[in-house]
Amino acid sequence: MTAVITNEQEIIEVPVEWEEKIEEVVALCLEQQEIDPKAEVAILFVDNETIREMNNTYRDKDTATDVLSFPMYEADEEIDDEEEILFGDIVISLERAQEQAEEFGHSLEREVMYLLVHGLLHLAGFDHMEEEEKEEMRREEEKLLAVIGAFR
């Protein structure tokens, strides 16, 4: 498993210790979702303006959001044993994450870990368009967050 972390925003400092935590969360999610451990996930931290532009470009929604996921792998895809699997990209607005952390009364780290889990589950095929899907996704989120100790 590889987690490639890139910070393209300058508003909020990204603590060095997050890298290890992010790698742990990615590995745990891939394991629990039975995704090949050779999978690579790219995590990109941006500001509200950048994620707004991406949301407008890719989802036709001209508003800042907290997280976007871009899957690049289908579970039934055949792969070579030596081939690295590009599982997908997760884009997180740290600016929006900070706003939500303050709103919900918890730390920025907890909010970022939640958004990471949420994005990873989208890459694994979960969605929340229908109430039943939303409930299933929420159960998976809570299960993963409990394992890493990121309770609400």
Please compute the mean of the pLDDT values over residues 102-121 and round it to a whole number: 95
What is this structure's pTM?
0.90
> Would you list the domain boundaries of the chain?
2-148
Give the tens place of pLDDT for each residue, 123-150: 999 988 888 988 999 999 999 988 887 7
Rg for the chain, CA atoms, rounded: 15
Q: How far apart are CA 123 and CA 71, in angstroms?
A: 5
Question: Looking at domain 2-148, which CATH architecture does it have?
Answer: 3-Layer(aba) Sandwich (3.40)
